[in-house]
Every structure is written in C-alpha cells, then in structure tokens.
Structure 1
Amino acid sequence: MTAARRRPPTAQEFVLSELRRAILSRELRPGEPIRQDALADRLGVSRVPLREALKVLEGEGQVVYRPRCGYKVADLSLDDLLEVYLIRRLLESEAVRQAVAKLTAEDLAALAAAQQEVEKASETQDVAAMAEANRRFHFGLFERCGMPRLVRLIRLLWDATDAYRSLYYGQHANRARVNLEHRAILAALHRRDTERVVRLLEEHRNHAVEELSKVIGSAEDKPAAGLR
C-alpha cells in the first residue's frame, strides 16, 4: 500500500480507503493477519485511525478480531456469499423498480460512461479499477430510486463482499461476461423495460454466485494441512 495517494479528509477515512483497496486488490488476502504496527508505519498514521478503520471493516464482516491474535482478513465463506446475495436480490430489485422511471438522459449517459470505464479496466486487467467503475455503474442506477436508507443498506452489502468481487473479476471469462451483461442492462434501461432490467440483474448476480461457488466450495472442501 502507498500513502502517496490523495488523502480523504480524515486519517481514518484514508486508512479505511487503503484497507478496502488492499482487500479488493487481494494485496491483503482472505485469512491473512493484519499487522497493525507495520501497517500504521507504512501508511504514515498512528494506531488510533487504524483501529477505528478496522472496527468499521469488522462491522461489515470484511475483517475478524480474535483475542490475543488480533485482526485478520475474513475468510471467504460460501454460506456468507449466498446469504448476502439473497438479501441483495430482495433490496436491489425494489430499488430498480423505483429507479427506472426516474432516470434522465443525463443519468443514462453517466451509466454508459461508467460502463466504458468498466470495459477499459477489464481490458487492462485492472481488477480494482474495474470494481470501482462497476460500483459507479450499479449505484448510478440504485441511487435514482429516491430511497436513501435502502441505498445505504445495499451499499453495506457491497462493502462486505469486495473480496468476493475481486476474485470473480480475476478471470477473463468473468470480466467478458460482466461487460456483455452490463450492455444488455443499459439497452433495457433505454427502453424503460423495468422488469427486464430486474431479470437481467438477477442473472448478473446468479452468474457471479455460480462461478464463485465453484471456487469457494472447492477451497472449503479441501482438508486442512496435515489432515487426512
């Protein structure tokens, strides 16, 4: 991680942003311990904002704390993935149904621009940039629902699954599929076909769950080292 980036307004926000980026880029991998002293020195901050940022991530389920062991990046869990995506389906479908009719020409142009950034990052295999642009694409739609509490809940679920998203984007076939699905969603949005958008987003989530389930399920089935 580097402290040379333009810092957000507070030290805690800066640290939180850097930790999110490190988890998303898999610089900090699932199950890896977080060495607070070394990390604080590397970021040029005290332990206080680092601890506060870790508490935020703990609340999201991105890191876990164990007494006498400290913090570590949360392990990937198939049960966790399935639960989050079930809740996302319920919340996002409602947000989309409320949002589509409210989209302006400017909103559609912004969504198209976000998708161009998704495709650009996909071509260069920049997983972190692709994830950021993907978030702008989806939330550019969700935020038009006019229900800020609903959007906050959806954002919390997204924050909790960055590690899964980065794993999904690591494969070329998955990146290509995301681009095709986004283009279909954009076309349906231009036609104001609300129920088709809902269906396409359902397929979009399902494809991610199917692919991630193969990887995570396989990892969970492996015996621990030294066991038979």
Structure 2
Amino acid sequence: MPADPNPRPDDREAAPRADLRWHAPERPPTTQAFVLDALRRAITTGSLAPGRPIRQDAIAAELGVSRVPLREALKTLEAEGQVVYRPHRGYAVAELSLDDLLEVYRLRGLLESDAAAVAAGRFTAADLEVIGEAARDVERAAEAADLVEMITANRRFHFALLTPCGMPRLLRIVRTLWDATDAYRAVYYNSETNRERVRAEHDAIVRAATEADADRLVTLLADHRNHAVDSLRHTIGTPI
C-alpha cells in the first residue's frame, strides 16, 4: 500500500504501555479489523479515556502492527465520532456528550422501531432461540459485572431482535450508530442498578418477541432506550 502523502501528525512522546484489555479474546481475520476491535475495547473499558491523546507509535508497538492499519482504524472511529482529530496535535478519544447521545438515540428510535415492528411478524423458533440465548449471556455478564462481555452480549441480543426484519441497509446504519455509543453503555452498565434494570427489561422484551406482539415490542424497546438516556443525562451533563 503506498505511503500516505499527507500523514497526520501525532504526539510521539512516551506513554505508558496499554494493558491486556487491548487484546480481544479472538483475533479478527484482518489486521485492520484486529486494530479496530482493540481500539473499540480500549475505549469501552476506559484504557483509552475520553479526551486522552492517542499515541500512535506506542499503540502500534503494543499491538504489534504497523501504522497503516492503525491509521485506517482511526479514520473509521473518527467517522463514527469515537475519536477526534486535532490539527498539529493528532487524534484523541472523543469526550462523552449528551448532545451526541441524544442525536444517536433519536436516530436509533426512528430506525429500530420500524425494524422491530417488521421483525415481530417474522420471528421463527430459531430466531427466538438466538434471542433467548443472547439475553441469558447478558444476564451472566451482568451478574459477573463484566462490562465488556455485557456490551458484546447486549449487541447480539438487540441485533437478533432486529435482523429478521430483512432490511440490510437499515441495519448497516443502525450498526454504525451502535458502534458510536459503546463508551456510553460502559458508563451506564457500571451501575448495578442499571444492570438489574437491563435484565428485567430484556425479560419483558423476550416475552413480547415470543408472543409476536409488535406494538408491545416497539414500546418496550423505546422505554429501554429512554431509561438509558435518562440515567446518562445525570452522568454526563446537560446539552448545550
């Protein structure tokens, strides 16, 4: 791959080595996917905290990769709003913003409501089994207070609910919105009260899906999103 003709500067000063939370349990199939997954996990777990500069040389060395896949992963995260680029200073992890969260969740509400309404009439026994198993994975992770696994299982749960809608373009957009907000989920799940709420709400959502009750499913998912936003509203401030 040719060298970047306009490389972006980064802060090359020494930085502490990242810990083992950089490394995913299973390495994704491509180097770029591996780096992107590692950065997502680091942001979610707080290894890369909001506002922290991203030391590209140090991270590339820690992950054992070149700067090329790291730059590509950072561009993806920048497009999602998870990192920001500052001229002459390089990349940094984006600060948590209630305005950003509200916009993402508003878009999710519009798209996911349509997807869930359609999916409710298409659930097969196999779909419901996948939904139920994902819900159990969320519960096990919540009991262990394993926030990374809870986020991963929660994503499986929600997309198991939505995928039967059969609208791949819509689902691609929804995935991008989800990718942009995992750091917010980590904050939300850090509370035991919120973890218990998620488990209870998932139980109700599973029942609505099993009964193919589209209206109930859409309502429960909206309440589920709104409870998260209401909790985070008190944690990350008020909109400008």
TM bucket (normalised to shorter chain) is over 0.9
Deviation at 1:4? Answer: 7.5
Which deviates further from its counterpart, 21-30 or 82-91? 21-30
After superposition, the C-alpha distances for 1:160-183 in whole angstroms (9 at most, x for unaligned) are 111111110010000000000000
After superposition, the C-alpha distances for 1:124-174 in whole angstroms (9 at most, x for unaligned) are 110000000000000001111000000001001000111111110010000
Match of 2:45 in 1: 25
After superposition, the C-alpha distances for 1:189-219 in whole angstroms (9 at most, x for unaligned) are 111110000000010000000000001117x
Match of 1:197 in 2: 217
1:181 partnered with 2:201? yes
Kept after mapping to 2: 8 A contact 1:96/1:198: yes
Match of 2:11 in 1: none
Deviation at 1:6? Answer: 3.0
Match of 2:111 in 1: 91
User: Of 52, 57, 60, which aligns to 2:80?
Assistant: 60
Match of 1:148 in 2: 168
Give me the whole-angstrom Cα distance separating, in 1, the residues matched to 2:194 and 2:70: 34
1:132 partnered with 2:152? yes
User: Normalising to structure 1: TM-score of the pair?
Assistant: 0.93
Give me the whole-angstrom Cα distance separating, in 2, the residues matched to 1:17 and 1:119: 23
SS in structure 2 at match of 1:86: helix
Deviation at 1:9? Answer: 1.7
1:69 partnered with 2:69? no
Give me the whole-angstrom Cα distance separating, in 2, the residues matched to 1:102 and 1:3: 37
Give me the whole-angstrom Cα distance separating, in 2, the residues matched to 1:5 and 1:17: 10
Kept after mapping to 1: 8 A contact 2:24/2:38: no
Give me the whole-angstrom Cα distance separating, in 1, the residues matched to 2:23 and 2:199: 32
Bigger helix fraction: 1
User: Of 33, 36, 42, which aligns to 2:56?
Assistant: 36
1:51 partnered with 2:51? no
Deviation at 1:3? Answer: 4.8
User: Normalising to structure 2: TM-score of the pair?
Assistant: 0.89
SS in structure 1 at match of 2:208: helix
Deviation at 1:64? Answer: 0.3
Match of 1:161 in 2: 181
Structure 1 residues 96, 71: CA separation in 2 closer, same or farther (over 3 Å shift)?
same
Deviation at 1:107? Answer: 0.7
Identity %: 59
Kept after mapping to 2: 8 A contact 1:3/1:44: no
- Alignment RMSD, CA only? 1.4
Letter in 2 for 1:97: A
Letter in 1 for 2:71: R
Give me the whole-angstrom Cα distance separating, in 2, the residues matched to 1:196 and 1:3: 39
Instruction: Could you tell me which runs of 5 or more consecutive residues in structure 2 were left unpaired when the two chains were aligned.
Output: 1-19
Match of 2:5 in 1: none
Letter in 1 for 2:87: P
Give me the whole-angstrom Cα distance separating, in 1, the residues matched to 2:94 and 2:235: 16
Give me the whole-angstrom Cα distance separating, in 2, the residues matched to 1:112 and 1:79: 33
Give me the whole-angstrom Cα distance separating, in 1, the residues matched to 2:58 and 2:185: 27
After superposition, the C-alpha distances for 1:75-127 in whole angstroms (9 at most, x for unaligned) are 01111111111111000000001111111011101111001110100011100
User: Of 108, 122, 130, which aligns to 1:102?
Assistant: 122
1:119 partnered with 2:139? yes
SS in structure 1 at match of 2:236: helix
Instruction: Could you tell me which runs of 5 or more consecutive residues in structure 1 were left unpaired when the two chains were aligned.
Output: 222-228
Pairs aligned (count): 220
Letter in 2 for 1:13: A
